[in-house]
Structures are given as C-alpha cells and as structure tokens.
Amino acid sequence: MERFLEKPCDPKSFSPLTLAFIGDCVFELFVREKLVCDGNCPVHTLHQRSVKCVCCTAQAADCAVLVPLLTEEETAVMRRGRNSHTNHVPRNASVANYHAATGLECLFGYLYLQGKMDRLRILFQALVDAGSQS
C-alpha cells in the first residue's frame, strides 16, 4: 500500500487529532482488507466484524499489544495522540479507552503520512498474531 496522493506533507506538523483522523481510516482499511481476504461472506457480517475490531475498546487493547514493539519516536507519537484533548467521547466507551484508541489512530496516521507502509504492515500483523484482529 502506498499513499494515494503524492503531495508531500510533514506529519510532524499536524495535530494529534489530525493524525488520528487519517489514522482511523488507515487502520480500518487494514481491518477490512484482512476480513475480506479471510473469506467471502455477507457484507453485513463483514460490517459487524469490522465494527468489533475498530471500536475504541478493541483499539485500546491493541495499544497494549503494540507498546513493547514501538520505537521511541512511535511511542512519543502514540502518547501525543493519547494525551490530546477531545471534546467528544462516545457514550459506549470509557474516556481511558477512547484516549488509547486515539493514540493508536494517531500512530497509524503518522506512519501512513510518512510512507512507512512496511512498518504499518508489521504492526498490524503483530495484532493479527496476538489474536486481537480475528
């Protein structure tokens, strides 16, 4: 997977919530591709499975899996996302889980905008191997 647009940008210049905005999409694309490649099934089933994987409770658990694998720079990016102030928390999520999920999305957005697709694949595969993306 390469970036869709060639326009250069410096992810270090973006706010954590902007990185999480794009990272949310990148993470969901990984999840959806995995689900589709696992086998053909009804779209409704794919949607239900996808929602289970991308909800903030699941993403918060994913953070715990990834933390030991992250570089110092990646840890700092995730921490920036986790500590960012949001004005909205879904009613079915705890504040802690929502912040952790934002950190994960921030990391995925940062790596995507840097063009580090191989690193994204490694991190997502670690989640699959840990059983959190099944």
Q: Could you list the active site residues? A: 24
CA atoms of 52 and 75, how far apart (whole Å): 25
Rounded CA-CA distance 84/3 in Å is 25
Q: Which residue in this structure is represented by tokens 């794009």?
A: 22
Q: CA distances (Å), 17 to each of 30, 49, 77, 103, in order? A: 20, 25, 11, 9
Q: Label residue 39 left, alpha or beta by phi (over 0 means left) and psi (-120 to 50 means alpha).
A: left
